[in-house]
Amino acid sequence: MTHVFSHTAAPDLKAHLLRAERALLAAAPGLLGLAGRAVFAATLAGFFWSSALTKIDGFGLSLNGYAQIFPRAMEAVNYDASQLGLAAHLVVAAGTAAELVLPLLLILGLATRLAALGMLGFVIIMSLTDIIGHGVDASAIGALFDRQPDAPILDQRLLWGFLFTTLALTGGGWLSLDRWLRRRWLRA
């Protein structure tokens, strides 16, 4: 039995495909935002929180925090953080707070775009600190298009940056506090 594709079926198929495309385009930001937040929660949030906890000692900042953020300066002052200026103390406190608060905001989907931009900036500064401050070697930095997808700085953090850029562009998506607050605000 032969099926003949009628010329009248083509416009119907085209209309269905266009409707499907419009539906996918309309759903994409909500789906990408939710999926991006879920991927972040499952893979990176714990990394940032663990890192932040190494910078806290009781109710204050640990020497480890200063050594992580200002390795050369700490070495120069024989690991006596009290010899660092006020700006260094503020940077360590702000960096520690960012590592604790920004992941939580992303997971909740609260101020998602701003938190994602903050995380993007944080990853850039963290990468520069690793390269300049800690003097990591070329194998840890990696190179693009080298067929080696596991360099801890360039390859991994480029993927992290893509995730944060996606969240900055799409927002928190479905099931986010941003969406809930926007709906409540628009009703008022």
Task: Encode 8-39 in three state secondary structure.
Answer: CHHHHHHHHHHHHHHHHHHHHHHHHHHHHHHH
Q: Is 0.75 topped by the overall pTM? A: yes
The tens digit of pLDDT for each residue in 82-119 reads: 999 999 999 999 999 999 999 999 999 999 999 999 99
What is the distance between the alpha carbons of residues 76 and 68, in angstroms, rounded to a whole number?
Answer: 14
What would the pLDDT profile of 69-89 be if each residue is shown by its tens digit? 999 999 999 999 999 999 999
Task: Round to the nearest angstrom and report the end-to-end CA distance of the chain.
Answer: 62
Decide: 164 and 116 in contact? Cβ < 8 Å: yes
